[in-house]
């Protein structure tokens, strides 16, 4: 079935109209139909966290979400995190300063998770950060630096 449908998405504050099949995931809609490739496909089955985006401010796995499910809801991706003038979000800046990534492939998902982790109030201690960031795998092994970055950004966001 080709069965195209028209959906309207709000991504990083911009409106998009897409003619796609209803089975297209939010992840593939972002990457293949909108050219927003910052959101990564690591497993396509909800196990690695690389595709983490925000839907109405909550962290969501874009690979387990159909694009049609987020019609009318606000989606934020890594491309929409910095300010319009390019000023980095505190979490992005902390990731750079703490060298919280190597290959960079899990990084957008880590950063989106970290922003939500801080917003949820789950960055109170290193152990809490580790627990609430455990859904985002990093095979390069940047975890100690990710914890340091989240801790640093949490302090900056609070001040």
Binding to other proteins, residues 5-44 (CB under 8 A)? 21, 23-24, 28, 31-32, 35-44
- Least distance in angstroms from the C-beta of 74 to other proteins: 17
Long-range contacts of 35-44 (CB under 8 A, 24+ apart): 36/11, 36/77, 36/79, 38/77, 38/78, 38/79, 38/108, 39/77, 39/78, 39/108, 39/109, 40/105, 40/106, 40/108, 40/109, 42/105, 42/106, 42/109, 42/137
In whole angstroms, the minimum distance from the beta carbon of 43 to other proteins comes to: 4
Q: How many residues bind other proteins (CB under 8 A)?
A: 61
> What gap in Å lies between CA 70 and CA 62, rounded to an integer?
10
Residue 95 binding other proteins, by CB under 8 A: yes
CB of 94 to other proteins, least distance (A): 9
**Smallest distance from the beta carbon of 14 to other proteins, in angstroms?**
15
Of 52, 65, 76, 107, the residue at the interface with other proteins (CB under 8 A) is 107
Closest contact distance (angstroms) between CB of 125 and other proteins is 13
Among 59, 108, 115, 151, interactor with other proteins by CB under 8 A = 108
At 156, list the tokens.
Answer: 């900056």
Give phi and psi for 73, each to the nearest 5. -115, 155
Site for other proteins in 136-155 (CB under 8 A): 136-147
CA atoms within 13 A on the CB side of 158: 12
Residue ranges that bind other proteins, judged by CB under 8 A: 1-2, 21, 23-24, 28, 31-32, 35-45, 47-48, 50, 77-79, 81-82, 88, 92, 95-97, 99, 101-108, 111, 126, 129-131, 133-147
């Amino acid at each position: 079935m080709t069965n195209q449908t028209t959906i309207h998405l709000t991504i990083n504050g911009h409106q998009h109209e897409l003619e796609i099949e209803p089975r297209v995931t939010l992840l593939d809609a972002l990457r293949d139909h909108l050219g927003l490739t910052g959101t990564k496909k690591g497993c396509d089955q909800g196990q690695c966290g690389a595709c983490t985006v925000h839907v109405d401010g909550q962290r969501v796995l874009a690979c387990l979400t159909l694009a049609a499910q987020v019609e009318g809801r606000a989606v934020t991706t890594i491309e929409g995190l910095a300010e319009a003038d390019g000023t980095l979000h505190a979490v992005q800046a902390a990731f750079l300063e703490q060298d919280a990534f190597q290959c960079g492939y899990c990084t957008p998902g880590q950063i989106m998770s970290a922003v939500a982790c801080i917003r949820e109030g789950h960055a109170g201690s290193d152990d809490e950060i580790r627990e609430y960031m455990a859904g985002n795998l990093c095979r390069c092994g940047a975890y100690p630096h990710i914890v340091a970055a989240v801790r640093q950004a949490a302090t900056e966001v609070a001040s």
